[in-house]
Amino acid sequence: MFDIGFSELMVIALVGLIVIGPERLPKVARTVGHLLGRLQRYVSDVKSDISREMQLEELKKLQVQVQEQARDLDRQINDQMKTVETELNQSILASAENAEKKDESIEAAQPFVPPAPSAPAVPADPTPKPPLG
């Protein structure tokens, strides 16, 4: 955190010994150590919280991008489906119209031939038969 060398620590310890006194110096040093430890933990927690928030924001942005891409893909697929469906319907209608025209042209090309007149039913034996009974 701070760039403090050994000689600077010795000067601080000597000044603390003179100002605070030898009886209270260990207790003060212990308290300062605890406070510095808490400060370091607090700074570490703040850093990790900030890091988590940044990652969360990045994940939210990524989620939004993926959702937009999924919507675009869905739209593209729906558009393709509609175009294929319309082309298929048009081709079916065209083939049906072609079949009707073909049937009409076949009927127009064949002349109407009336059926041959049938001969009246003549019994094979011209003699009348006596009634039964």
- What angle, 0 to 180 degrees and rounded to 10, lies between the N-to-C axes of helices 25-109 and 6-20? 130
- Predicted pLDDT at 13: 84
Rounded to the nearest 5 degrees, what angle is found at the Cα of 56, between the Cα atoms of 50 and 57?
A: 90
Residue spans per domain, the chain: 6-101
Cα–Cα dist 28/34, whole Å: 10
Indicate if the pLDDT at residue 130 is higher than 70.
no
Instruction: Pick the closest to residue 25 from 13, 9, 11 (CA basis).
Output: 13
Indicate if the pLDDT at residue 25 is higher than 90.
no
Rounded to the nearest 5 degrees, what angle is found at the Cα of 92, between the Cα atoms of 80 and 107?
A: 165
pTM over the 0.85 mark: no
